[in-house]
Structures are given as C-alpha cells and as structure tokens.
Structure 1
Amino acid sequence: MKKIELLAPAGDLEKLKIAIDYGADAVYFGGEMFSLRAGAGNLTLEEIREGVEYAHARGKKAYLTVNIYAHNEDIKPFEEYLNKIKDLDIDAFLVSDPGILLLLKEAIPQAELHLSTQANMTNFKAAEFWHHQGVKRIVLARELTFQEIHQLQRKLPEGMEMEAFVQGAMCISYSGRCLLSNYMIERDANRGQCAHPCRWKYSLVEEQRPNEYYPVEEDQRGTYILNSRDLCMIEYIPELIEAGLASAKIEGRMKSVFYVATIVSAYRKAIDAYYENPENYEFQEEWLQELKKVSHREFTTGFYFDKATNKDQDYQTSAYTREYSFTGLVKDYDAATGLALVEQRNKMSVGEEIEIFGPYTDFFTQTLEVLLDEDGQPLESAPHPQQLLQIKVNQPVTAGFMLRKKR
C-alpha cells in the first residue's frame, strides 16, 4: 500500500524546516511573487534553493505554488521569474491559470504539474482535460464529498493523483474564487491579496432605511453570515486513505511555526498509526486535543460527508480560539546541565507550568523553575521577543522542540 503523503504549508523558510522536522512528507510554499498568499513571508530565490536542498537531504519533497490568475501585466514578469527558477530542483509546481501552466511547460518542459484547488476541479471529465494538459496531480475542490471522490478515483486517467485539504481555514466562496475583497477594498483574492471579508460582521439594511441596521438572526446585533468553521479531518484518516487520496494537505501558509509543528505532528501520529495496523486502527482523542492547542475556529468536516449546512458556520464570532501561547523554540540543549537554550516567542515567568513537545514525541509538562539569561544570570520572567534564554528542562530535548503554556 502506497502511503498517503502528508503535505504541509511553508510560509517562510523557518516554517518549511519545522514542517519537515515534525513529520511532513512534502511542503508547499510560495516565492516572492505569483502565489496566492501575498501576506505570507514567502521565500526568496536563495531561500527556495536552501529549502529544496533541506527537504531533499531528508528524503522529502518541495512544491512551489504559482497559482495566481494572471493578468496581462503579469505575463512578462512571470516569464522572467521562470528563467530565474528553472534550474532549481523543485519537485512540482501548483498552478490554476492555463496561461501560467503553458508558460511553465515552455520554460521547464520536465516540470511536474499539480492543479491548484483554485481551479475548482470537481468532476472526472475535468480531470481528463487537465491530464491532457500534462497535469499529474489534481488538488480537489473542497466542495467534493467522499462519495464524489470515490467516483472520481475510479475514472481518473492512469497515473493521475488526487490531493485534498484535510485541515485548516475554509473559504465561503467556491474553492477560494472570491470577489468580495476586490469589490470592497480593491484587494484581489485571486492575486494573493485577500482581506478575508468573509470574516467581517454583517447586518441587514433595507433600501429605504439606509441608517437602520437589522440583525440577520433574531436577538443578535449583526452576524457573521459568511464565517466558516475550520476544516478538521484527523478523526477520519481511514476514510481519507480509502478514498484513494495520494496527498493529505494542511492549509496555513499564513500561520505560525507553532501551528505548523502542532498540526503536522498530530497528523503524522494518526497516519503512522493507521499504516502500522490498518485492521485494528483506533483514533486517539489526544490527537484532536493537540490540534485544539493552536489558534483555531470551531471545527467542521466541511463537505466530506454531505453538503455543508448552517452547522458548518459560526454566526457568533470570527475570533479564533487561543487557549495556549507559544512561548519558546529550543535552539540547543546541554545534556550535562539539563539546560536548554531557548528563543523566547511569548512572555514566560518562573513558577508557570509549561508543556514541551518535539518531533515524533509526546509532550511533557513541568513547572518553570530555572530561568537564566544568555549569560547565565537568573531571571524572574522573560518579556522580550526572541530573547535567548536558558531553561532547566526535566527531560532531554533537541533543537526544534517547542514550549507552550495555557493562557
């Protein structure tokens, strides 16, 4: 049985490395232009080179997203960009625009092409069309049910693969094809600049009463009528694998390294547990609880089991649930002293209870009893961002482990 790929977001080079260290089989990232996450850190040409080499040295893959819908003014800059990246050993390119796909094939004939979810791939005839254009993998539209995915899998052209999102933010518009942001504040979602107006608060206004705002729902002054819950499919790993997916994709190039590490780690454990013993696989509630320790909205299974309903929306608030703070990233560890060198990410103080976790491990909890500055001087608290600290830890750690605390 070919193992399903765990595909993680990499908003910048640090997140790319963290995703791989915590168990991703592949990462997807954007360059400084032509991807749909203009607000992410994204990678320079040199960072792409370093990231690809980092992935390949560990037997992992690296995919570049160039999935904007290009305007005429984008064509020449994109051709110039292709000339700069054509010699990089990128494993695949995610595209949605046919013109971008054509330019890629001309500049890099050997390129492996993946069709972005932005292209709204919803049926087997569309898959056949994209197969004729040289696409090897299709990232399914989020609007497909398991039943539709099974039907699609049976009719796929030979050698074509399916990838689908399993975790992360959902879009109220059809697989991201939203015009609200462009219409309201001239930030084009299809060119990477979405302002997320689907998370804004709305009320109903009647034409003849322009200054009177009515609640859309009874007893609520305004409502988040477009606000989807976050997708979460960790409880359904067998169903995802049995549907024939080649890749399980995590959304979140705009999210933190803490988010990437936590989500990837939980899915890695669940996927590995399934393949170790498919017949007797049992979901572990602790995996879901781990996902809830990062910033998130309430969860939904989206369209996988049926068409989405009002239960898949959150009409009360667009705010995230943030029960834990990411407090530090381990940079080094001295086994002789039990001291970890930690880069601070949020304030922590002596006497607080912290949780520490790392790649392929379970977390452990301890009280923060010894906190020193970089020179070994005692501290009561560490309030300065990215301050280097020494912390006494109760169990061995390595670079890349993370510290968190409950708010």
Structure 2
Amino acid sequence: MNKVVYMDYAATTFVKPEVLEEMIPYYTEKFGNPSSFYAVSRETKMAIDKARGNVAKTLNCDLNEIYFTGGGSEADNWAIKGIAYAHRNKGNHIITSKIEHHAVLHTCQYLEKQGFEVTYLDVDSEGFINIDDLKNAITDRTILVSIMFANNEIGTIQPIKEIGAICKEKKIFFHTDAVQAIGNVKIDVKEMNIDLLSLAGHKIYAPKGVGALYIRKGIRIDNLIHGGSQERARRAGTENIPGIVGLGKAIEIANNNLESHAEKMTFLRDKLIDGLLKVPYTRLNGPKGDKRLPGNVNVCFEFIEGESILLSLDFEGVCASSGSACTSGSLDPSHVLLAIGLPHEIAHGSLRLTLGENSTEEEVDYVLEVIPPIIKRLREMSPLWEDFLKKGDK
C-alpha cells in the first residue's frame, strides 16, 4: 500500500513547516528559562508574550487573559474544577450537555463525587441543546454552564452567543470547550459573553502537549497545578516554550486564513456527504449547512460494525475514525450518537471523516470510490443484513 489519505484531522493535525521553523530555535540556542533575569531568558519570555498576543487577537481579548496549559483536557479540567472550587460558597450546581468531550464529562462526574450537582442537558437529533431546557435547568445554586462550541464527533455548532447572553443575565460563569472550533469558525469572547474558553494546539497544526485557557479578567478561579509562579502565578511549571511558540504561530496562520480555509473545507465536506449518502441505508449524523463544522463528516452505515469499516479503509490507505480518538479503545458505541437518539445497532456502524489542510478533491473522490464496495462486502458478511433481507424490507 503506497497511497495514504488522511481524513482524521479532528483527532490531530501535522505540524505546519512554518510553525516548526519558528519553534526550532527554542529547542537549541534560545533555551533560557523565562523565569530567570538574564538576556537569554528575557528573549524566551518575549516569545511567550508574542504567542499570548496571537491567541488573544484570535479570541478578541486581552493577552493577560490567556494562560497556557498542557493541552485542551487540562484547560477543561482547570476551567470546571477551578470555578467549582472557587465559588462553592455561592452554589454547587453545574450545567453541561450529554455530548461533551470526556474531558468535560469525566470532570463533572468527578465533581459529583465531591458533592456537586450536575445537570446533563439532552440534545436533539442533530446534537443541539434546547435553550429552554438550559433556562429551566438554572437554579439559584447554579455557578457554571459548560457547553462545547462545536462537537468533535458530529460537528454540531451550538448557539454559543445565545447561551452566553443567558449566562450573563443570570450572573453564571460560561465555559466553552472550543478545541474543535478554533481555526474553523470565528470566535469573539466579548461578543459571545464567554467567560472561559479551552483550546488545544494539535488541532490547528501546532504540536501536541500545548493548549490554552482564556479566563475573563476579574474571574476568581482556583489553580489546578501548584508550584512556581509561572503564568502570573496561576499555572505552575516551567513553560513549554517551543510548544507555546508553535501554538502562537499556528493560531496566527489559522486566524489569517479562516475564511478561505472554511470555504475549502465546506466544499469538500459537502461533496463527501453527498457521495456517502448515495450508499443505501446510510444516515448523516449532525446538521447540514453552516451549523456544522466545515471539515466534519459523520455517517452511520446500517447493519455493519464501524471497526470493520476502519480496518477495510486502512487496507485501502484511508485514515479515519469511528468517533473521538480519546475513546477509540472502547467497544461501546459513541455517547454522542446515543445522545442524539440512535439505537446501539446503528450507532455501532459510525464513520467519522474529518478534512484538513492537505485534503484534496481527488482524495474525496478516492474515498467515495473505495467505500461503496467495502460497505457492500461487509454487509454480505453481516447476519444483521441477512436478517433484514429475509424480512423482505429491500
């Protein structure tokens, strides 16, 4: 097998050459500890500040509201635990949704064991929360709402501005996991009334192991990591300078190319969706149009298992997934697909294809060429398909 078609950009991206080029000096000659006082260290501190400014510009906030972390999961944990512990004297109720990333869900489940109450909002068949459900869930003990900006599996973009307005009116903190949204849609934390926002570098062509948390100025939040006085005494640990520099460069590029990138991804996405839906007994998971992430495709092929599809695609050189990369070792169907109402037997047949920087129309055509015979062959081997045919429901 010589041909490799990568369609799992939601899981991770490569590091862009221009990003790596900017990072390399900070592994070699520019290696000073930013906490020291000599010139070599001042140089690295300036590099961190530059990266912080690039992130702040993208989100339309002040650079002193950006704190670098070890990734998106750490940022989610910090936002939720930090607000919960710092404001438990006001209340112990948190609201989130049933389709959040496990970095949010597992954090909320952990807090439930610590005496906090969590409401997990239902979503509709396309993955949207109901705004009235959110309003009705708020009590005088609610201190935090955490709703992801865009879903990592089915691409649903939530009504973030509307959610932010409700939280502002009720004087409740609003956190959003924007790991998948950054670089794909425009984000303005001021206009959207977002108080805390998580992001990760490796989703936008920066290295793994670096992320950021936006914390609106004036918000009291407990630290997650204790030790030194780095990140203005809020996140201890010597900074990952090359990673931070890479994140700063990558988010600058993403922000500058946002519209052209989204236009290209939307065209390829829609072509891929239209082609896949020509396969009989195939359903699209998530919405169509501008309420879906530009590069996200998620479908279910009835009567077969997603793992079998992935193995067959791998043999053809296509890299894909059946859902979140963080749960790829699980035999259970996606919690997201179950939450939108799919029965287990259909949710098991899911395929997620996500597009990115190097995706081409030729690659989309290739995938649309190899998938139909794969589905046909797997169905011919499936007892579920055999039972279906015996019932005469052709």
TM-score, normalized by length of structure 1?
A: 0.29
**Higher strand fraction (1 or 2):** 1
**Larger RCO of the pair (alpha carbons < 8 Å, separation 6+):** 2
**Higher helix fraction (1 or 2):** 2
